[in-house]
Amino acid sequence: MSKCAIVTGGAGGIGLGIAKALAKEGCNIVIADIRADEDVHKVISGLESLGGKAHYIKSNVACPKDREKLIKEAVERFGRIDILVNNAGVAPKVRMDLLETTEESFDFVMDINLKGTFFLSQLAARQMISQENIELPRIINISSVSADTSSINRGEYCISKAAASMVTMLFADRLAEEGIRVFEIRPGVIKTDMTAVVTEKYDKMIAEGLTPIKRWGYPEDIGGIVASLCRKEFDFCTGNVINVDGGFHIRRL
């Protein structure tokens, strides 16, 4: 039986890069996103052309009912859940100095980036544990270099990603005995629609040495790592943080 992989925020950007990589591995893909159905039709067709089947579920991971619907419908559609990729995430709607950040902005970011990741992982783990003969189950959290890099004009985002790192560690610890491996990927500067507005800024920073590897990252860079982590070669690992950032994390003099 083909594996079933849920990718939140999978209709574009990093999430779509991940979904494509898993589809090429033969997985059935469930895309969870908040986009309108008509916007995702081509995405689903494209994924199915790579192998396996694909299904779209409109859902907001910040909403408890949507999280429950996502798990239930994925199981109804494909009979199982083998992989959960918590990729859905948001930045503050407006960047503000740390001393001006509002509770509304803080809650908006935390509800999706942290609360959604925690409680969807909980639901998916319960489902995985209940399944018979599950092979190489995985939960993979897409974090950010902001998990340990300060940006004082979007502090709520940095805090959400740092907290998501602890979510990875906690679930890795708890689920090891259940055979479920949990990983965290920290992307760096990745070329997506979200970063399109700062292309010129990052072009300049990369050229000036922001990262040892002097290029943008791409969604397929993340997708390839996710696909690798879902293979048996990584079954003696859990709780690992994988930086996919062109070497940004290296402290240099």
Alpha carbon distance 14, 186 (integer Å) = 12
Q: Is 33:15 a contact under the CB 8 Å cutoff?
A: yes
- Supply the DSSP symbol for 178: G
Which are the catalytic amino acids? 157
**179: CB partners within 8 A, 6+ apart:** 134, 137
Alpha carbon distance 18, 68 (integer Å) = 22
In Å, how far from its chain's centre is CA 82? 15
H/E stretch holding 57 reads strand 54-58
